[in-house]
């Protein structure tokens, strides 16, 4: 008779939790995963996947217009938001079915309900207690909306993906990944989009040339960005005032709109699941504190993914899950390698990035910067005023490429490949020795020869 009901109970069936559970089960461990909502978690149900489907949908807005420059005669297209949402939901149902099948085929039990840790080796689900050798907290994160009068009138990304009606005028508060992605897709679908940011620019944490280029491109495409601006209150308007909402800014300006959308970061889901009572330490932000092997202050309890607030990206959670399984179930202690993690923002145009920003690289030593700005070939005929920017940051002493950044069509697809080169420690000479593929935008990364003049050199 085993000492525990399970070898592992995972709380949260999102990307990290499902990957860790099924990989652990493959080693022969007896595993259950607890989920109170839909299997698949934020990425599949409320994030990356539905967002990307809407981004694809929005691109047609530009494509119909661009086609005219290539000789296509297109009558005025119409767009049915309801149909896109219904098709997107059907796809999510299909994916959820696949996730259920993956769990079943790997013999992972799915416990339907809210999981609460009741001790170092026990989890309660719907009033029933299960014992387990290890507990994995993979409960993810939830949108954080600041305390502003009228905030209950605002939506988050959860609701934005499922609106009954297409918002013709939308105000988006925040300038991070979610804000710029949704600004791009609503704008391309024909909405009047205003972004409100408290800082001087969008996308804090990205290279300044990425931030400036993307902001310029978004503004050219019709998105309004209010910088250094704070929302004072949100009010609902009555029939007489034209309905919708009024967003009051500091100063006396107000903006009327059909939806107010807050994309102001996410909070780890750590409340009300018994963590502190079980001895698990939380950070000031409420994230689970773990060591390099994802172990919490309570040795039998582990955590990974958004709930530990290191890098809130699905592939990071998945890789953390694999490192956890290797360490705990395959006798191979494996810390997660957080260096050179590529990332993309599915803005319009999109961003792809890997490695250091210029400012970070300069803090570490002298650098050579290579940069290219150009009008992509497609837009010479489409006539659309779109520009791309590509940038390489090279450590001067070692000549290793330590940062690679792009704003422009296909940037996420292009940067994924170059991320391998950075991971391998490629030098600028090796980039130069690589033959380009012509005509592409990607070839710019292997044909840049002229350094951006360095002010320090001039002096
Ligand atoms: P981010 O942390 O990326 O951005 C939050 C934004 O909200 C920042 O612009 C921040 O401003 C602003 N903000 C925070 N608090 C306030 C406030 N009280 N009032 C006004 N503005 C505020 O969060 P997101 O919500 O956009 O996304 C959450 C995470 O999800 C991302 O960090 C990313 O890790 C992940 N994600 C990844 C995607 C991808 O891989 N493509 C897509 C979507 C999300 P400031 O800069 O001044 O701090």
Report yes or no: 195 and 226 within 8 Å, Cβ to Cβ: yes
Ligand 1 centroid to Cα of residue 263, in Å, is 6
Q: Is ligand 1 within 6 A of the CB of residue 175?
A: yes
Specify the residue for token string 């009901």: 5
Q: Which residues pair with 355 in a beta bridge?
A: 403
> 62, 387, 405, 438: which one is catalytic?
438
The residue to mutate among 199, 265, 287, 317, having the most atoms of ligand 1 within 8 angstroms of its beta carbon, is 265
pLDDT value at position 458? 45
Q: Is ligand 1 within 6 A of the CB of residue 198?
A: yes
Ligand 1 centroid to Cα of residue 174, in Å, is 6
Report yes or no: 95 and 49 within 8 Å, Cβ to Cβ: yes
Nearest CA to ligand 1 atom 14: 264
* H/E segment holding residue 268: strand 266-268
Q: Is ligand 1 within 6 A of the CB of residue 146?
A: yes
Sheet harboring 245-249: ordered strands across? Answer: 231-236, 245-249, 254-257
Q: Is ligand 1 within 6 A of the CB of residue 265?
A: yes
Question: For residue 379, what is the DSSP state?
Answer: H
Ligand 1 centroid to Cα of residue 34, in Å, is 28
Q: Is ligand 1 within 6 A of the CB of residue 305?
A: no
User: Which whole-number Å values give the CA distances from 2 to 5, 24, 129, in the listed order?
Assistant: 7, 17, 16
Question: Residue 436: CA atoms inside 13 Å, Cβ hemisphere, count?
Answer: 12
pLDDT value at position 186? 98
Nearest CA to ligand 1 atom 24: 265
* pLDDT tens-place values along the chain, 459 residues long: 789 999 999 999 999 999 999 999 999 999 999 999 999 999 999 999 999 999 999 999 999 999 999 999 989 999 999 999 999 999 999 999 999 999 999 999 999 999 999 999 999 999 999 999 999 999 999 999 999 999 999 999 999 999 999 999 999 999 999 999 999 999 999 999 999 999 999 999 999 999 999 999 999 999 999 999 999 999 999 877 778 999 999 888 999 999 999 999 999 999 999 999 999 999 999 999 999 999 999 999 999 999 999 999 999 999 999 999 999 999 999 999 999 999 999 999 999 999 999 999 999 999 999 999 999 999 999 999 999 999 999 999 999 999 999 999 999 999 999 999 999 999 999 999 999 999 999 999 999 999 999 875 543
* H/E segment holding residue 41: helix 41-41
pLDDT value at position 238? 85
Nearest CA to ligand 1 atom 7: 264
Q: For the chain, report the end-to-end CA distance as a whole number of angstroms.
A: 77
Instruction: Report which ligand 1 atom has the smallest distance to the Cα of 143.
Output: 25
Q: Is ligand 1 within 6 A of the CB of residue 195?
A: no
Ligand 1 centroid to Cα of residue 177, in Å, is 6
Q: Catalytic site residue 438? A: yes
* Domains within the chain, CATH numbers bracketed: 6-142+267-329 (3.50.50.60), 151-264 (3.50.50.60), 343-457 (3.30.390.30)
Q: How many residues does the chain have?
A: 459
Q: Is ligand 1 within 6 A of the CB of residue 184?
A: no
Nearest CA to ligand 1 atom 4: 176
Q: Is ligand 1 within 6 A of the CB of residue 140?
A: no
């Amino acid at each position: 008779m085993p000492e525990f009901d399970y070898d592992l109970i995972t709380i949260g069936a999102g990307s990290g939790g499902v990957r860790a559970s099924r990989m652990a089960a493959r080693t022969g461990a007896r595993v259950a995963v607890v989920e109170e909502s839909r299997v698949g978690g934020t990425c599949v149900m409320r994030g990356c996947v539905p967002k990307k489907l809407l981004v694809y949908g929005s691109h047609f807005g530009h494509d119909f217009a661009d086609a005219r420059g290539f000789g296509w005669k297109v009558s005025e297209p119409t767009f049915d938001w309801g149909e896109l949402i219904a098709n997107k939901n059907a796809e999510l149902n299909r994916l959820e079915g696949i996730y259920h099948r993956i769990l079943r085929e790997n013999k992972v039990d799915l416990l339907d309900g809210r999981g609460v840790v009741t001790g170092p080796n026990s989890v309660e689900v719907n009033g029933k207690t299960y014992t387990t050798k290890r507990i994995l907290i993979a409960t993810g994160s939830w949108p954080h909306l600041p305390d502003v009068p009228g905030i209950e009138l605002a939506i988050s990304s959860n609701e934005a993906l499922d609106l009954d009606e297409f918002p013709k005028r939308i105000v988006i508060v925040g300038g991070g990944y979610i804000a710029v992605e949704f600004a791009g897709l609503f704008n391309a679908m024909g909405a009047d989009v205003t972004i409100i940011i408290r800082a001087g620019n969008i996308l804090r944490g990205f290279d300044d040339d990425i931030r400036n280029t993307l902001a310029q491109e978004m503004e050219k495409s019709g998105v309004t960005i209010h910088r250094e601006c704070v929302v004072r209150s949100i009010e609902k308007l009555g029939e007489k005032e034209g309905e919708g909402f009024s967003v009051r800014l500091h100063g006396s300006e107000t903006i009327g709109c059909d939806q107010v959308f807050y994309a102001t970061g996410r909070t780890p889901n750590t409340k009300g699941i018994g963590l502190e009572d079980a001895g698990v330490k939380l950070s000031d932000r409420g994230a689970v504190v773990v060591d390099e092997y994802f172990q919490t202050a309570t040795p039998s309890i582990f955590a990974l993914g958004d709930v530990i607030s290191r890098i809130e990206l699905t592939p990071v959670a998945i890789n953390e899950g694999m490192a956890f399984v290797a360490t705990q179930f395959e006798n191979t202690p494996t810390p997660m390698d957080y260096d050179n993690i590529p990332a993309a923002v599915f803005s319009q145009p999109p961003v792809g990035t890997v490695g250091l920003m210029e400012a970070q690289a300069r803090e570490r030593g002298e650098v050579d910067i290579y940069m290219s700005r150009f009008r992509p070939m497609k837009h010479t005929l489409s006539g659309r005023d779109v520009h791309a920017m590509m940038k390489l940051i090279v450590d001067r002493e070692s000549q290793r490429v330590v940062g690679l950044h792009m704003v422009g069509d296909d940037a996420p697809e292009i940067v994924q490949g170059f991320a391998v080169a950075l991971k391998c420690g490629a030098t600028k000479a090796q980039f130069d020795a690589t033959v380009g593929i012509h005509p592409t935008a990607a070839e710019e990364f292997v044909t840049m020869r002229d350094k951006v003049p360095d002010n320090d050199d001039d002096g």
